[in-house]
Amino acid sequence: MGIQTATTGNLDDAQRIVIAQCRYTLEHNAVMRNLVELFKLGQGEKQITVPKVAQMTAHSLTDGVDLAESEDIGMTTTDLTTSEVGLKVILTYKLLRQENEDVFRIVGRQMGDAMARKIDEDLIALLVGLHGGLNISDNAYSGDALVFDLVTATGAVAWAKTNKLPAPISLVAHPYSVAVTAKAAASVGATTTLQALDYPVDLLTHFFRMNINGMSIFEDGNIATATHDSETCGIGGVFSKSALAFVESQAPTTEREKDISLRGWEVMLTSDYGAFELDDSYGAPLALAANVAVTVDT
């Protein structure tokens, strides 16, 4: 007769719960990952080189006169590589002996949240450098930390279209910032549907708030806030999908290893990815007021 232990027969099942919960949580919380270009490194590949070509100019012609000018392709490239990211959780034998299945769901959710937050923050950090770090509010409006009302939103649309940002165009801001626009838009009947938009409906329903003149507005709670000119603000941005890239060599993977001296199991979640700026001119950062007072009083 085989010896049965507290971990016999149920640890593998529990492990599957951890993995499933990690994947579910990660997929439903990485907002920015779904708004940028996605690339995948295959086996044996260490980088992806993405080409970009410049604009050409068409010229007016005169009958019988030779066109002397010629255009350059103007190709530039961006190299995309990856690096590893991970986290570890230790589950002791004692915990497993006293386990409730919810323990593994909690662990899976925490690990998935951590990885999703890391991916999201890595992509958010790129927004501040777009367009040479220019805050478009400095050009179009007075001052920083703008209240994100409909005037600001439509101004961002105008900036994006004037600068010929390729569609789809997204604007991502802190939830406190977006709340002001959402409140104003509700009274004027702004479009608040995901229909016909090139985004995963099941993933972005929780973060999409409205579409204004072809620009989709999303809220992202991973945007950090800071005090600027005595105003609490968050740095979001308006950008084309072609402005940023997420390249993945290894999707988030969960593994476990028994540690006898520790009398427990180590559960590791690792991924191998990179976040990059593809085209600096295809977006710009936005400093938007992001505090409870603005949300409540506006």
Number of helices (H), then strands (E), belonging to the chain: the values are: 8, 12
In a domain? residue 29: yes
Averaged over 235-259, what is the pLDDT?
87
Q: Does residue 2 lie within any of the structural domains?
A: no
Residue 194 has pLDDT above 60, yes or no: no
Pair 22, 269: CB distance under 8 Å:
yes
Residues 119 and 27 in one domain: yes
3 state SS of 170: strand
Residue among 14, 21, 9, 8 nearest 252 (CA)? 21
pLDDT (0 to 100) of residue 196: 42
Q: Which residue has the tokens 């005169």?
A: 62
User: Do 42 and 186 belong together in one domain?
Assistant: no
CATH number for the domain spanning 196: value is 3.30.2320
Is 21 within 8 Å of 104 (Cβ atoms)? yes
Q: Give the pLDDT score at 172.
A: 92
| Domain assignment of residue 1, yes or no | no
Look up the CATH number of the domain holding residue 108. 3.30.2400.10
The answer on 185 and 105 residing in a single domain is no
* Burial readout 216-237 (b: 16 or more C-beta within 10 A, e: otherwise): bbbbbebbebeeeeebbbbbbb
Same domain as 287, residue 178: yes
Domain-embedded: residue 40: yes
Segment 202-224, tens digit of pLDDT: 556 677 777 888 888 898 888 88
**Is residue 209 left, alpha or beta, with left meaning phi > 0 and alpha meaning psi from -120 to 50?**
alpha
Beta carbons of 236 and 174 less than 8 angstroms apart? yes
Domain membership of residue 167 as a residue range:
132-244+280-297
Average pLDDT, the chain: 76
Q: Does a structural domain hold residue 4?
A: no
pLDDT category at 296 given cuts 50, 70, 90 is: very low
Confidence of residue 74 (pLDDT cuts 50, 70, 90): low
Token code pair at residue 81:
């590589």
| Co-location of 138 and 223 in the same domain | yes
Structural domain includes residue 87: yes
Residue 155 within a domain: yes
pLDDT confidence bin for 141, thresholds 50/70/90: very low
Within-domain flag for 3: no
The number of domains in the chain is 2
237 CB-near residues (< 8 Å, 6+ apart): 127, 128, 130, 171, 172, 283, 284, 285, 286
Q: What is the pTM of this model?
A: 0.77
Residues 219 and 231 both lie in one domain: yes
How many other C-beta atoms lie within 10 A of the C-beta of residue 53? Answer: 10
| Confidence at residue 70, expressed as pLDDT on a 0 to 100 scale | 74
